């Protein structure tokens, strides 16, 4: 419920829009009720005048009927316009708000969420929140106001008649929504969470279709999706049943209110305390009140589904970032030497540290190779350097300034990391490259491609630089996608490059050519390479060996090049 209140609080900047929408909705509903009531009064009065052989002024009621008809139709149109505009603005803002909250979370604090899940929270769940105002709040407020106005109007003729109508309106406007919400609580929550899960799974399965087909696991996954779909349909059927029952109950509101007015009005008519046109008007007004209460019937059955979506959306916003941005970042340091001071890192929930007590001094422009078996901690070093995570202990400094005191944006403009499988966007070759340097000319793009041996391949594509690379670069081979990621990094002006196994999987000749180009383009910059290749180690000024997260004792570079298995690491002792 707290999240529902938080959601409603977000509407505060749109209070004027919402007030206007409720007023216009109320006016058009009252116009409709007035139209039916005045028409009833008019017909009865005309009949009574005919029987009595007298004439009455029919211009005024006819004009009133016309005016009410125009107000009803125009009001409905303007109401839709305003209420939807307010809702769309709010949803747009909420999406922007969520995107802004996602940025500091990425990548570490989102690592446990499937990408389909995040997409679903941003799309489906937010869409569901749209109903809060349109289907719940506005209809409820309008129904209560209409009920109160009708009861006040009836009270002018007879208190008991007004009380009876009030009791019926309370049943329809308070008891029925409350019961509907209660009955729909479990199934609507199940429907919302199952639907979110189903979409997230579907997204994941579509992304991983190739391995699913290759391993023959597709049938199992399809069966699992079908089971989820059955669960969803069953939950939605229950929500629909609650809605239908609510509709049946609320549907009787108008008739019951009309009967109550008739029951109390007939004796007044006989006693001459009420005229027949007035009674007809009151009965028809009570009957027409149904229009105000009808939307409440099914809406509240799904209330808890909307709350489940609100929980999922706010659950994303409320996640704690792995790293806190400093509110007052220091200016960029003058130098770019890197130092690690007794740095340890233990991932949340991990049994043992990924990095232990690492001390490092990397001077500006240095060329260092990081070596170590898989899981030794090389990529974790890069994550810490980019401040995707903070060390559990110790401190990292850039130019003598603690990373925590620098802004994330500054850090990311100074240090570029190329991961083992760099992410490519579903955009063109040029767009992917220009992420690193927006102003890069085509000639610069070609030069960057040439340095990773990709120029010929891209020139051979009919669209060249404008060729789309497909989702996550799937139109390129694994090696080509990796090289495009590398070209992107080389294009940037960042003074520090961290390349995580840049030539892994490439043949020795291509790897050698690319290494030469990397060294050329990294001239004057700090170049850090995580590698298993002796040639890359040999090209660096220094080799730092990691084993199980600890830095091994320094030893001559040549020792790493000895063919003793895992880069000559076995005989090395811990630092
Ligand atoms: N997000 C994570 N959550 C928990 N443990 C992690 C996470 N990422 C890495 N680890 C663990 O931290 C240790 C170091 O991993 P890291 O990826 O830094 O090694 P690496 O040397 O880069 O390995 P590789 O050469 O295979 O890429 C490993 O034991 C790994 O299982």
* In a shared domain, residues 274 and 398: no
From edge to edge, which strands make up the β-sheet containing 338-345? 401-402, 393-398, 338-345, 355-362, 550-551, 542-547, 367-371, 526-530, 496-500, 415-418
CB atoms within 10 A of CB 77: 12
Residue 328 domain flag: no
Q: Is the CB of 68 under 6 A from ligand 1?
A: no
Rounded average pLDDT over 384-412:
92
CB atoms within 10 A of CB 508: 10
Rounded average pLDDT over 257-263:
92
* In a shared domain, residues 421 and 493: yes
Instruction: Using the mean position of ligand 1's atoms as its centre, give its distance from the Cα of residue 353 in Å.
Output: 10
Q: Which ligand 1 atom is the nearest neighbour of the CA of 349? A: 4
Name the closest-CA residue to atom 25, ligand 1: 374
Instruction: Using the mean position of ligand 1's atoms as its centre, give its distance from the Cα of residue 79 in Å.
Output: 56
Rounded average pLDDT over 70-89:
88
CATH of the domain at 272: 1.20.1560.10
Q: Which ligand 1 atom is the nearest neighbour of the CA of 111? A: 1
| Residue 453 pLDDT greater than 50, yes or no | yes
Rounded average pLDDT over 40-63:
88
Q: Is the CB of 380 under 6 A from ligand 1?
A: yes
Q: Is the CB of 377 under 6 A from ligand 1?
A: yes
Name the closest-CA residue to atom 31, ligand 1: 375
Instruction: Using the mean position of ligand 1's atoms as its centre, give its distance from the Cα of residue 372 in Å.
Output: 12
Residue 498: what pLDDT? 94
* In a shared domain, residues 422 and 494: yes
Instruction: Using the mean position of ligand 1's atoms as its centre, give its distance from the Cα of residue 355 in Å.
Output: 9
Residue 460 domain flag: yes
Q: Is the CB of 347 under 6 A from ligand 1?
A: yes
| 356-376 residues labelled b (16+ CB within 10 A) or e (exposed) | bbbeeebeebbbbbbbbbeeb
How many structural domains comprise the chain?
Answer: 2
| Residue 410 pLDDT greater than 50, yes or no | yes
- As beta bridge partners, residue 401 has 398
* In a shared domain, residues 475 and 403: yes
| Residue 98 pLDDT greater than 50, yes or no | yes
- Phi then psi for residue 367, to 5 deg, are -125, 110
Cβ contacts of 103-110, under 8 Å, gap ≥ 24:
104/321, 104/323, 104/325, 104/408, 105/319, 105/321, 105/322, 107/388, 108/321, 108/322, 108/323, 108/383, 108/388, 108/389, 109/319, 109/320, 109/321, 109/322, 110/319
Residue 181: what pLDDT? 85
Rounded average pLDDT over 135-163:
91
Range of the domain at 295: 89-317
8 A C-beta contact, residue 392 and residue 386? no
Name the closest-CA residue to atom 6, ligand 1: 347
| Residue 113 pLDDT greater than 80, yes or no | no
Q: Which ligand 1 atom is the nearest neighbour of the CA of 345? A: 12
* In a shared domain, residues 141 and 265: yes
Gap between the Cα atoms of 46 and 44, Å rounded: 5
Mutual angle of helices 2-10 and 303-317, in 10-degree steps: 80
* In a shared domain, residues 310 and 162: yes
Residue 36 domain flag: no
Q: Is the CB of 111 under 6 A from ligand 1?
A: yes
| Residue 571 pLDDT greater than 50, yes or no | no
* Residue that finishes a domain, picked among 259, 285, 317: 317
| Residue 149 pLDDT greater than 50, yes or no | yes
Q: Is the CB of 487 under 6 A from ligand 1?
A: no
Write the pLDDT tens digit of every residue in 507-528. 888 888 889 999 998 999 999 9
| Residue 355 pLDDT greater than 50, yes or no | yes
Instruction: Using the mean position of ligand 1's atoms as its centre, give its distance from the Cα of residue 380 in Å.
Output: 6
Q: Is the CB of 139 under 6 A from ligand 1?
A: no
Q: Is the CB of 356 under 6 A from ligand 1?
A: no
Instruction: Using the mean position of ligand 1's atoms as its centre, give its distance from the Cα of residue 484 in Å.
Output: 24
- Tell me the percentage of the chain whose pLDDT exceeds 90: 42
Residue 534 domain flag: yes
* In a shared domain, residues 511 and 554: yes
Higher pLDDT, residue 563 or 495: 495
Rounded average pLDDT over 474-479:
81
| Residue 572 pLDDT greater than 60, yes or no | no
* Residue that finishes a domain, picked among 317, 351, 374: 317
Residue 301: what pLDDT? 73
Question: For the chain, how far is it from start to end, CA to CA, in angstroms?
Answer: 55
Name the closest-CA residue to atom 9, ligand 1: 380
Q: Which ligand 1 atom is the nearest neighbour of the CA of 532? A: 25
Residue 65 domain flag: no
Instruction: Using the mean position of ligand 1's atoms as its centre, give its distance from the Cα of residue 112 in Å.
Output: 15
> 460: pLDDT confidence band, cut at 50, 70 and 90?
very high
Probe residue for ligand 1, chosen from 380, 545, 569 as the CB with the greatest number of ligand atoms within 8 Å: 380
* In a shared domain, residues 400 and 304: no
Residue 1 domain flag: no
- Tell me the percentage of the chain whose pLDDT exceeds 70: 94
Residue 262: what pLDDT? 93
Tokens 């084993």 appear where? 547
Q: Please report the DSSP string for 438-478 in residue order.
A: TT--HHHHHHHHHHTT-HHHHHTSTTGGG-B--GGGTTS-H
Name the closest-CA residue to atom 11, ligand 1: 354
* In a shared domain, residues 261 and 371: no
* Residue that finishes a domain, picked among 284, 317, 350: 317
Write the pLDDT tens digit of every residue in 221-232. 999 999 999 999
Residue 25 domain flag: no
* In a shared domain, residues 270 and 398: no
Q: Is the CB of 105 under 6 A from ligand 1?
A: no
Name the closest-CA residue to atom 7, ligand 1: 347
| Residue 112 pLDDT greater than 80, yes or no | no
* In a shared domain, residues 274 and 351: no
Rounded average pLDDT over 105-116:
68
Probe residue for ligand 1, chosen from 106, 350, 531, 532 as the CB with the greatest number of ligand atoms within 8 Å: 350
> 563: pLDDT confidence band, cut at 50, 70 and 90?
low
Rounded average pLDDT over 271-297:
89
CATH of the domain at 357: 3.40.50.300
Residue 245 domain flag: yes
Residue 108: what pLDDT? 64
* In a shared domain, residues 286 and 419: no
Higher pLDDT, residue 340 or 506: 340
- The rounded mean pLDDT for the chain is 87
Residue 569: what pLDDT? 44
Name the closest-CA residue to atom 12, ligand 1: 354
């Amino acid at each position: 419920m707290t999240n529902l209140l938080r959601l409603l609080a977000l509407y505060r900047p749109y209070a004027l829009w919402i007030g206007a929408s409720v007023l216009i909705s109320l006016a058009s509903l009252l116009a409709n009720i007035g139209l039916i009531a005045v028409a009833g009064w008019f017909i009865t009065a005309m009949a009574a005048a005919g029987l009595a052989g007298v004439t009455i002024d029919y211009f005024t009621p006819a004009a009133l009927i016309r005016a009410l008809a125009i107000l009803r139709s125009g009001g409905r149109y303007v109401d839709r316009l305003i209420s939807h505009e307010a809702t769309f603005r709010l949803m747009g803002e909420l999406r922007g708000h969520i995107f802004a909250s996602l940025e500091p979370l990425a990548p570490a604090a989102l690592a446990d969420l499937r990408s389909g899940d995040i997409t679903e929270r941003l799309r489906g769940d937010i869409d569901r929140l749209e109903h809060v105002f349109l289907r719940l709040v506005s209809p409820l407020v309008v129904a209560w106001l209409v009920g109160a106005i009708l009861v006040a109007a009836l009270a002018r003729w007879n208190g008991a008649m007004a009380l009876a109508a009030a009791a019926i309106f309370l049943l329809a406007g308070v008891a029925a929504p409350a019961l509907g919400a209660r009955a729909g609580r479990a199934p609507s929550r199940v429907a919302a969470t199952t639907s979110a899960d189903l979409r997230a799974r579907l997204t994941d399965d579509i992304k991983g279709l190739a391995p699913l087909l290759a391993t023959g696991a597709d049938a199992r996954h399809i069966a699992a999706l079908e089971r989820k779909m059955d669960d969803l349909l069953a939950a939605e059927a229950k929500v629909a049943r609650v809605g239908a029952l609510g509709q049946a109950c609320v549907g009787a509101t108008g008739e019951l209110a009309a009967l109550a007015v008739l029951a109390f009005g007939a004796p007044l008519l006989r006693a001459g305390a009420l005229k027949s046109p007035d009674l007809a008007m009151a009965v028809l007004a009570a009957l027409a009140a149904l229009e105000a209460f009808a939307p409440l019937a099914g809406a509240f059955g799904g209330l808890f589904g909307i709350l489940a979506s609100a929980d999922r959306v706010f659950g994303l916003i409320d996640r704690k970032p792995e790293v806190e941005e400093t509110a007052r970042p220091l200016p960029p340091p003058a130098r770019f030497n890197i130092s690690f001071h007794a740095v340890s890192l233990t991932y949340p929930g991990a049994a043992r540290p990924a990095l232990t007590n690492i001390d490092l001094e990397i001077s500006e422009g240095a060329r260092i190779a990081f070596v170590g078996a898989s899981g030794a901690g090389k990529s974790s070093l890069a994550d810490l350097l980019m401040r995707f995570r903070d060390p559990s202990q110790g401190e990292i400094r850039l130019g003598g300034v603690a990373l925590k005191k620098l802004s994330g944006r500054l850090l990311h403009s100074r240090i570029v990391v190329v991961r083992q499988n760099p992410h490519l966007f579903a955009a063109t070759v040029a767009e992917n490259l220009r992420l690193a340097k927006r102003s890069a000319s085509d000639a610069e793009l070609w030069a960057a491609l040439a340095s990773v041996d990709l120029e010929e391949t891209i020139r051979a594509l009919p669209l060249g630089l404008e060729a789309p690379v497909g989702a996550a670069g799937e139109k390129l081979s694994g090696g080509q996608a990796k090289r495009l990621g590398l070209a992107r990094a080389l294009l940037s002006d960042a003074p520090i490059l961290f390349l995580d196994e840049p030539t892994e999987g490439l043949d020795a000749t291509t790897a050698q050519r690319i290494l030469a180009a990397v060294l050329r383009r990294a001239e004057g910059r700090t170049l850090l390479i995580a590698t298993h290749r002796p040639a890359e180690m040999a090209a660096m000024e220094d080799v730092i060996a990691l084993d199980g997260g600890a830095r091994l004792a320094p030893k001559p570079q040549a020792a790493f090049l000895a063919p003793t298995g895992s880069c000559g690491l076995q005989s090395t002792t811990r630092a």
